[in-house]
Amino acid sequence: MFSSRIPDSRTANRLTRAAARHRESLVDLTVSNPTAVGLPPSPTALEGLASPANALHEPDPRGTLPARRAVSRYYSDHGVEAAEDRLVLTASSSEAYSWLFKLLCEPGDSVLVPAPSYPLLDALAGLESVDLARYPLPPEDGWAVQADAIFETADRLRAAGRRLKAVVLVNPNNPTGTSIAEPELERLEERALREGFALVSDEVFLDYRFADRPGDVRIAAARDRALVFSLGGLSKAAALPQLKLGWILANGPDALLAAALERLEWVADAFLSVGAPVQNALPSLLGGRHRAASEIRGRLLENDRRLRAAFPAGGAVGVLPLRAGWTAVLRVPAVVPEEELVVSLVERHGVLVHPGYFFDFPREAFLVLSLLPHPGLFETGVERLRDGIGALGR
C-alpha cells in the first residue's frame, strides 16, 4: 500500500523510549528549538505579522519582491551582493533541500553529504528517491572539508555506475562547526562545472561563527564559477523557526544559472508554500535579527565556558573547539558503546545527550549536546554528564 520512500522502522529507538520514560526528571541537553530556552523574541519583533496586507493573496513563486529584497539586505550586511532575482524563498531550509533535489536529480541519482553531519539529510534525500552517499570529514584536520575526500567518494560512485548530481556542504557543519576553505572550494567548483553536478551549501548557521580558520568560506554562492546554492533561513538567522521561512541564493555561470532559476521557480510555483504574513513581515523580522542572534551567541559562549570548566583540557574527556553553530561535541573514552552510554546517562543520571553515531561520526565515542539551554539548567545537565561519564566502566 505505502511508498518505500518511507522507512519501515519508524518506531522509537531505545534512547527515545528511555527519554520518554524519564521525561519528568530529565535535563534535556539536545534542545535545538530557540523558542524553548527562555530567549523570547522582543515584544516588537513580531508586530509586522499583523499587517492589513495579509488580507491579500498575491503570490510570486520566488517570494514577494519586498521579502526577497530584505534577504538581499541580509546578504549585503554580510558583505555579499545577492540580487533579488537570484533568490527563491521556501518554508524552511529542509524544504529548500527537497526543492533542490527535485531540481537536480532523477530518482536514483546520487548526492554527496558530509560525515559527520546533520542527520535529517537521509530522510530528505529518501523522500525524493535520491541516493545519498557520504564523504568523510577527516578528524585529523579538525573535520574540515577536503576536496580530495569528496573526489575519492565521487570516483567510487562513478565506478559503481551512479550519477552524481550534487555535493552538499554544511558550512559551517553541524555539529563540528567546521567550514570549507577557499582553495578546496575552488577545486570543487572546477570539478562540479566539468562533471555537471551542483554545490549546495547549507549556511543556516552563518550568524553563529566564532572561530573561522584562515580562508574559510562563509557564503559559497558569493562565487559564480559553478552552479551553487547557499541556504539560509529565519529559524537560525532570527531564531524564529515557528514562522517557517527559508531561502536559496543561487549563483553560477549565466546560462546555467538562468536555466536553474527558471526551473526552481517552476517547482516553487507548484507549492507556493511561504505564507503572506511572514513575507510581509520579513523586512522587520530580519531587521530585528541582530538582537536575537546576539543573545543566542552570548548564551552559546557562556555555556561553552561552563562545559570547558567541567571538562578541563588534558582530561579524559575532550571538548572540541566551538568554531560555529549551536552544538558542542565531546570526545569521551570508548569504554562502552555510545548507545549504552547515552541510555545509561538518561536512566541513571537524568541527562539526555545525542550519541555521536546519530551524526555519523566515523568511530566511537562522541557525545553531541546543545549549547542553547538556560545556563542554570545547562550547568546541572553538565554536572550529571560528568558524573555519568565518571561512572563509566564502574
Ligand X SMILES: Cc1ncc(COP(=O)(O)O)c(C=O)c1O
Task: Give the binding site for ligand X (CB under 6 A).
Answer: 32, 92-94, 118, 170, 174, 202, 204, 233, 235, 241, 246
Q: What 8-state DSSP symbol labels residue 55?
A: G
- CB of 372 vs ligand X, minimal distance in Å: 11
Q: Is the Cβ of residue 96 or residue 310 nearer to ligand X in the bound state? A: 96
Query: How big, in percent rounded to 5, are the helix, strand and coil portions of the chain?
Result: 45, 15, 40
- CB of 170 vs ligand X, minimal distance in Å: 5
- CB of 91 vs ligand X, minimal distance in Å: 8
Q: What 8-state DSSP symbol labels residue 45?
A: T
Q: Going by DSSP bridges, is the β-strand pair 198-202/228-233 parallel, antiparallel, or unpaired? A: parallel
Measure the CA–CA gap between 83 and 85, rounded to whole angstroms.
Answer: 5
Q: Is the Cβ of residue 272 or residue 316 nearer to ligand X in the bound state? A: 272
> Which sign does the torsion angle of CA 76, 82, 83, 89 carry?
negative
Q: Is the Cβ of residue 237 or residue 389 nearer to ligand X in the bound state? A: 237
- CB of 95 vs ligand X, minimal distance in Å: 7
Grid coordinates representing 264 are 526552481
- CB of 344 vs ligand X, minimal distance in Å: 26
3-state secondary structure of 19: helix
- CB of 172 vs ligand X, minimal distance in Å: 8
- CB of 361 vs ligand X, minimal distance in Å: 16
- CB of 232 vs ligand X, minimal distance in Å: 8
Residue 45's alpha-carbon distances to 50, 88, 238, 278, in angstroms, are 11, 23, 10, 12
Q: Is the Cβ of residue 243 or residue 341 nearer to ligand X in the bound state? A: 243
H/E segment holding residue 149: helix 147-159
For residue 313, count other CB atoms closer than 10 A to its CB: 7
Please say whether the beta carbons of 339 and 15 come within 8 A: yes
Grid coordinates representing 160 are 559503481
Q: Is the Cβ of residue 241 or residue 288 nearer to ligand X in the bound state? A: 241
Does residue 161 come out as left (phi exceeding 0), alpha (psi in the -120 to 50 range) or beta?
Answer: left
Q: Is the Cβ of residue 91 or residue 365 nearer to ligand X in the bound state? A: 91
Residue 278's alpha-carbon distances to 2, 67, 286, 290, 356, in angstroms, are 34, 9, 11, 18, 35
Q: Is the Cβ of residue 178 or residue 388 nearer to ligand X in the bound state? A: 178
Q: Is the Cβ of residue 231 or residue 307 nearer to ligand X in the bound state? A: 231
